[in-house]
Amino acid sequence: MAFHTVGNYTFQWTDLHLPREKTDPLRHEYDTLGHDAVKKLQQIAREMKGDASVKPTLCPGGFDMYAVLRDHHAEDETLGKLWREVHTVPDWVDWEQIERGQKFFYRYAGANMVGFLLQAFFGENSSAAGVIEVLMRTGGFSPRVLIRRLLETFQHLLQVTSSLESIQPGGQGHTTTIRVRLLHSAVRERILRLAETRPDYFDTATYGVPVNILDSIHSISTYSCNPMWLQLPQMGVFPTEQEKADYIALFRYVGYLLATPDEYFASVPQAKATMESLLLHERSVTDNSLIIGHNLLETVKDMAPFHISVGFIEAGSRVLNGDALCDSLGLGRPGMLAYACWRGHCWFVRVLALLQKWVPGVDEACVQYFRRTLYDAIVNSRQGLGGVSKMDFKYVPAMGKMTNKEGSGRALFAGSFLERPVEMFYLAVFVLGCLFWLGITSVGLTALNMLGMYLG
């Protein structure tokens, strides 16, 4: 069967892959239960505020949707159905496997976080046209709020991986995932309602329904499959078959909670084929991709305390996403120093992964360390979210509101390379690595010389 190359990645089409005839119609399907439930929740919220007679307003936010669902699911058929669905654990869920999957994120935390930011967000998200159309309208990708938006995404990722209890029904990760499902439905409902008054507001014929089933499958694939084949191996870290199966199983369950059909992630080969099919069908850079990509770069570059340079981001993005995609997203071509730092990063995560494989104590220590520190830094600290986010519906689409290319609003970073601690560290790793290879090469050459003299 045919081979395909997308960016730096080549794969062979198999019977498990999804032809366009199968994926395209999924653009017009969506989470109807979540959609109906959000409408019901809005009605209950209005009744609670005492304005039941007022016709539905265009602003559906402003109340805690999850709390209303939790408190009223027994009184309403739709809410009851949704509540039962998310509290029913499918029989394919194996909690021991899910627990192993959760550790995967922390085991390779450095590689996973860099991969998520540079490949999943920068490459995959920016070039998923339907997703971008929605994000352009919410304003969540405006640099003024984007850092909080990114931290909230990481909060969800940390909560679904923090402990088994957290992802089990009633746990924090489980609850946040339901909040996200309601948030998605509220965004969709809002955009569709605006499109009813002005059909040219959102092109459903081309992009499908906002936050549709195909986009959701794509997102779950980005979360769970991209680290295995598009991110970690490019940094020299090679997940085992067991690790792939475990992490994909975790996100198959997260996807189930988010109304994403789970059969596309039922096995490792099927999940890989799903990822590859969508890589081939869905990658499309539009003018709006350039805006989202620009805003992402503006937000992340030079941010305290790490002051990561634009060059390092460009070098990593180019290695992970390929030059063609990065060129079309308007990314610059960085110099040798940036690539040396990137190489240092790859060598560091590779050596750490090998150490973890050989010394189980190191593995456990890494998992525990990153579990504790990442949650504290991203969720609890004042530089992070400053407390758990409830994923409120705050980036509300409105007629005439569109995200534009913007600067971060921060003062320009005028520090030198010495004030970029991460890159300094990676450069040191790179230099040490080079010296190590030089040492090995010269020992090898000396040995060969001696052998030659002995034989000659």
Q: For CA atoms 88, 84, 46, 137, give the dihedral sign.
A: positive
The correct pick among 107, 184, 294, 371 for binding ligand HEM (CB under 6 A) is 184
Task: Work out whether 187 is an interface residue with ligand HEM (CB under 6 A).
Answer: yes
Task: Work out whether 180 is an interface residue with ligand HEM (CB under 6 A).
Answer: yes
Query: In this structure, are strands 9-12 and 3-6 parallel, antiparallel, or unpaired?
Result: antiparallel
Asked if 399 and 196 touch (Cβ cutoff 8 Å), the reply is: no
* CA 19 to chain centroid: 24
Q: Which is nearer to ligand HEM, 160 or 280 (CB)?
A: 160
Provide, rounded to whole angstroms, the least separation between the CB of residue 152 and ligand HEM.
3
The residue range among 133-141, 201-209, 419-427, 429-437 that interacts with ligand HEM, by the rule CB under 6 A, is: 133-141
Q: How far apart are CA 93 and CA 270, in angstroms?
A: 17
Task: Work out whether 27 is an interface residue with ligand HEM (CB under 6 A).
Answer: no
Q: How far apart are CA 448 and CA 456, in angstroms?
A: 12
The residue range among 29-37, 61-69, 179-187, 316-324 that interacts with ligand HEM, by the rule CB under 6 A, is: 179-187
Provide, rounded to whole angstroms, the least separation between the CB of residue 132 and ligand HEM.
8
Provide, rounded to whole angstroms, the least separation between the CB of residue 396 and ligand HEM.
9
Q: Which is nearer to ligand HEM, 142 or 317 (CB)?
A: 142
User: Which of 207, 226, 219, 225 shows the shortest CA–CA distance to 258?
Assistant: 219
Q: Which is nearer to ligand HEM, 180 or 349 (CB)?
A: 180
First to last CA, the chain: 53
How many residues sit close enough to ligand HEM to count as binding (CB under 6 A)? 24
Question: What is the contact mask toward ligand HEM in residues 316 to 345, using x (rule: CB under 6 A)?
Answer: ------------------------------
User: Which of 290, 298, 217 shows the shortest CA–CA distance to 252?
Assistant: 217
Q: Which is nearer to ligand HEM, 124 or 314 (CB)?
A: 124
Q: Which is nearer to ligand HEM, 40 or 184 (CB)?
A: 184
* CA 47 to chain centroid: 37
The correct pick among 27, 107, 156, 371 for binding ligand HEM (CB under 6 A) is 156
**Minimal CB distance to ligand HEM: which residue?**
140
* CA 186 to chain centroid: 20
Q: Which is nearer to ligand HEM, 184 or 343 (CB)?
A: 184
The correct pick among 253, 395, 426, 430 for binding ligand HEM (CB under 6 A) is 395
Q: How far apart are CA 386 and CA 401, in angstroms?
A: 28
User: Which of 255, 188, 261 shows the shortest CA–CA distance to 37?
Assistant: 188
Contacts of 19 (CB under 8 A, 6+ apart): 277
Q: Which amino acid is at 234?
A: Q
Q: Which is nearer to ligand HEM, 177 or 356 (CB)?
A: 177
User: Any idea what the Cα angle at residue 314 is, between residues 310 and 315, rounded to 5°?
Assistant: 120
Site for ligand HEM in 205-224 (CB under 6 A): 211, 215-216, 219-220, 223
Q: How far apart are CA 364 and CA 341, in angstroms?
A: 27
The residue range among 85-93, 130-138, 404-412, 432-440 that interacts with ligand HEM, by the rule CB under 6 A, is: 130-138
Q: How far apart are CA 264 and CA 217, in angstroms?
A: 8
Asked if 167 and 250 touch (Cβ cutoff 8 Å), the reply is: yes
Q: Which is nearer to ligand HEM, 145 or 362 (CB)?
A: 145
Task: Work out whether 142 is an interface residue with ligand HEM (CB under 6 A).
Answer: no
Q: For CA atoms 248, 251, 252, 255, give the dihedral sign.
A: negative
Residue 236 pairs with which residues in a beta bridge? none
Provide, rounded to whole angstroms, the least separation between the CB of residue 354 and ligand HEM.
31
Q: How many residues in the chain?
A: 456
Provide, rounded to whole angstroms, the least separation between the CB of residue 8 and ligand HEM.
24
Q: Which is nearer to ligand HEM, 212 or 317 (CB)?
A: 212
Q: Which amino acid is at 331?
A: L
Helix axes 360-375, 336-358, angle to 10 degrees: 120
The correct pick among 153, 234, 277, 408 for binding ligand HEM (CB under 6 A) is 153
The correct pick among 149, 190, 244, 294 for binding ligand HEM (CB under 6 A) is 149
Site for ligand HEM in 239-298 (CB under 6 A): 255, 258, 260
CA distances from 414 to 296, 307, 314 (A): 20, 10, 19
Q: Which is nearer to ligand HEM, 156 or 318 (CB)?
A: 156
Asked if 254 and 29 touch (Cβ cutoff 8 Å), the reply is: no
Provide, rounded to whole angstroms, the least separation between the CB of residue 448 and ligand HEM.
54
Binding site for ligand HEM (CB under 6 A): 131, 134-135, 138, 140, 149, 152-153, 156, 180, 183-184, 187, 211, 215-216, 219-220, 223, 255, 258, 260, 391, 395
